[in-house]
Amino acid sequence: MRLALALTLIAAPALGDVLTHVTPIYGQLVVFQTPADFKADYESERQGSYILEFVPRRESVADWSQMVTVTGAEGLAARLTVEAFAERLAAGYQAACPQTFAALRLDTPAIPGAASAFAGYVGCGSTGAQSEAMVFVIVQGRTAIYSLQWAERGPALTQAPDPDPSLWLPRAAALGLMRLCDPVAGEGAPYPSCSGT
């Protein structure tokens, strides 16, 4: 399964108020934004796999309409390209909805601190009672591969979703603002050398 080249990131309208997060993950600081009305609702680190999930304040990871997720995979930077990681991510979506699957490659922004990056869109018209789609950015750090994803659920569709550029491109542009920093010895949260605070 190959991601097709399709959408191009364009100047996008502002998403409204956002919060900037600086999270230490596997030896680097990952800087990213979420909408201001999202909350961190789940975090886990286990055997070299990290995940942190944000959902709208009145929702939970058990029942959500939108979700912003950051992940880290320790040690993969030397063994897997960002393209191969994106293919694995897309294959997971495709397995959930082989008849209503869509995938698009997006123009990838330059991510400060990353050795390489890849951006894309995947969608499922139906995963049962609902549809699900997301934009994502995969970045290669010094030792880990990181991902930042923005997903949304909606009513089930009978065909593959047709992504609305006015909805998904601003979200992809927001994800493209992520960056990686190396920690400064003795510095703690809020990591001013990286966050700019």
pLDDT (tens digit, 9 = 90+) per residue, 47-86? 999 999 999 999 999 999 999 999 999 999 999 999 999 9
In a domain, 110, yes or no: yes
Q: CA 117 to CA 112: how far, in whole Å?
A: 10
- The pLDDT score that the predictor gives to residue 196 is 63
Which structural domain range is residue 171 located in? Answer: 82-180
pLDDT at 6: 33
Q: Is residue 170 part of a domain?
A: yes
Quote the pLDDT of residue 186.
Answer: 86
What domain count does the chain have? 1
Whether 68 is covered by a domain: the verdict is no
pLDDT at 63: 95
In a domain, 6, yes or no: no
Strands 101-106 and 4-5: parallel
Question: How far apart are alpha carbons 4 and 9 in whole angstroms?
Answer: 15
pTM (predicted TM-score): 0.90
Q: Which residues of the chain have pLDDT under 50?
A: 1-14
Helix (H, G, I), strand (E, B) or coil at 173: helix
**14 falls within a domain:** no
19, containing H or E segment: strand 18-25
Residue 127 lies in a domain: yes
Cα angle value 115/149/70 (rounded, 5°): 70
The answer to whether position 35 is within a domain reads no
Q: Residue 16 domain-assigned?
A: no
